[in-house]
A and B are shown apart, each in its own frame.
Chain A
């Protein structure tokens, strides 16, 4: 039982770390504000949910895992809402998305991000 728990926790935490790594890579690699927000919001929330879920599986039914579950619920609520608010504020402030064809357009329009 305990070995199954440990193996499942290892698998979940590894997948979660992969998602977090992809999100951080997206911040460095993508060209535009909106695509960066997109990358980091989705994959970060998924990665944190998986890592905390792996810790919950490792812990079993205790008070600590109940606290981790509450942390998962609040993270799943607050993360996407935060990135929605940031992207919406940028759009309403008049930041243009980067369309295809544009290294020149990037230099003129979206450099201030």
Chain B
């Protein structure tokens, strides 16, 4: 399905680099509460991994990796995770996003705060990834069989 004009060098190198970019994005998201990084940066890296394949191989092949219709649901569910954690803490008696009052069975104290920050970061990363990919998809209306480079 690759068209005759595509450069094999760009295609092979981006295919080799994409899993590492997405793995590093997941690392940045899940270590956001210990080290530099966090949900926004990791989500931008995950979106960069998707958009690299989308630029080089064309949007038809990259539907295997991330479908065009998944962008908005990913963004909405990320925002939902964020507000679910915040409102759960509010429901159990604290303020909005007061991690001490978040409820996980048999987890208390600093572990509870760390785990709820991790859930927040996952939600933020999911939202950023979905929204960035869907912005790209809305801007690019093109022939789906062709890559751009």
| B20 lies within 8 A of chain A by Cβ | yes
Contact of A81 with B9 at beta-carbon distance under 8 Å, contacts A74-B17, A89-B149 already known = yes
Sorting the interface of chain B by its residue count into under 10, 10 to 19, 20 to 34 or 35 or more gives 10 to 19
Sorting the interface of chain A by its residue count into under 10, 10 to 19, 20 to 34 or 35 or more gives under 10
Cα–Cα, bound, A88→B148 (Å) = 11
| A77 lies within 8 A of chain B by Cβ | yes
Task: Please give, as numbers and ranges, the residues of chain A lying within 8 Å of B20 by CB-CB distance.
Answer: 74
Q: Are B10 and A92 in contact (CB under 8 A)?
A: no
Q: Are B5 and A85 in contact (CB under 8 A)?
A: no
SS class, residues of chain A in contact with chain B: helix
Contact of A84 with B10 at beta-carbon distance under 8 Å, contacts A89-B149, A92-B5 already known = yes
Q: Are A88 and B149 in contact (CB under 8 A)?
A: yes
Task: Please give, as numbers and ranges, the residues of chain A lying within 8 Å of B7 by CB-CB distance.
Answer: 84-85, 88
Q: Which of A77, A85, A88, A92 contacts B16 (CB 8 A)?
A: A77
